[in-house]
């Protein structure tokens, strides 16, 4: 998603009109980036940017929310300024007070729970969907960790929802897929 946003943003610049996703994976003379680094996680990518090892980082807001606070702007929009909390846990323990600015925010939706309809009946698929989207599953702490819990991508106040394929249109738009 970040590569698609970069290519989309710069394709109108004559210098980068032929920019591809692959071009963003290499750094050096004549390339879009001077150097390309892979942080290994969203958190470590942000650490690279905050410590000056990288000029920018692609970061999932959900995965750094426990470490930051919004100091100006609107949450998850271009121009929003965040600051690392003074008491932030690793890997941000020595970065309290450091700030960063959102230059682009892209909706990256959670992947679907999929079933193979060649092996499951319509009735079974409906039963699975009904259970996963039920009011009983939404507050289940074995599935959705309590708010603020570490190490879980499923947090309280979340739930499974049944969506149509069109739900993924915002991501397809960024990727240039119809």
What is the reported pLDDT for 154?
Answer: 57
Spatial neighbors of 1 by CB under 8 A, at least 6 apart, are 58, 106, 108, 171, 174, 175
* Domain ranges for the chain: 1-36, 41-108+165-178, 113-162
Tell me the pLDDT tens digit for each residue of 43-100: 999 999 999 998 888 898 888 988 999 999 999 998 999 999 999 999 999 999 999 9
Rounded distance, CA 87 to CA 90, Å?
10
CB-side neighbour CA atoms (13 Å) of 34? 4
Rounded distance, CA 145 to CA 45, Å?
25
Please, which pLDDT band fits residue 151 given cuts at 50, 70 and 90?
A: low
Rounded distance, CA 5 to CA 92, Å?
27
Alpha helices in the chain (DSSP H): 2-10, 42-50, 61-64, 122-132, 169-175
Of residues 109 and 130, more confidence is placed in 130
The pLDDT > 90 percentage for the chain reads 38
Phi-psi region of 52 (alpha: psi -120 to 50; beta: other; left: phi over 0): left
Tell me what the mean pLDDT of segment 9-17 comes to: 88
Please, which pLDDT band fits residue 8 given cuts at 50, 70 and 90?
A: confident
In 3D space, the residue among 41, 42, 66, 38 whose CA is nearest the CA of residue 53 turns out to be 38
What is the reported pLDDT for 130?
Answer: 95
170 has pLDDT over 90: no
């Amino acid at each position: 998603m970040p590569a698609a946003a970069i290519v989309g943003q710069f394709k109108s610049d004559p210098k980068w009109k032929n920019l591809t996703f692959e071009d963003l994976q290499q750094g050096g003379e004549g390339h879009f980036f001077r150097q390309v680094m892979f942080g290994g996680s969203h958190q470590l990518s942000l650490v690279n940017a905050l410590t000056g090892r990288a000029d920018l980082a692609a970061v999932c807001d959900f995965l750094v929310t426990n470490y930051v606070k919004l100091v100006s702007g609107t949450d998850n929009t271009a121009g929003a300024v965040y600051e690392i909390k003074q008491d932030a846990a690793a890997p941000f323990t020595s970065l309290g007070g450091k700030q960063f600015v959102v230059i682009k925010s892209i909706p990256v939706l959670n992947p679907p729970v999929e079933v193979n309809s060649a092996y499951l009946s319509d009735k079974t698929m409906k039963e699975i969907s009904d259970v996963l989207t039920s009011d009983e599953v939404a507050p289940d702490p074995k599935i959705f960790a309590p708010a603020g819990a570490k190490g879980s991508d499923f947090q309280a106040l979340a739930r499974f929802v049944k969506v149509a394929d069109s739900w993924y249109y915002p991501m397809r738009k960024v990727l240039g897929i119809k």
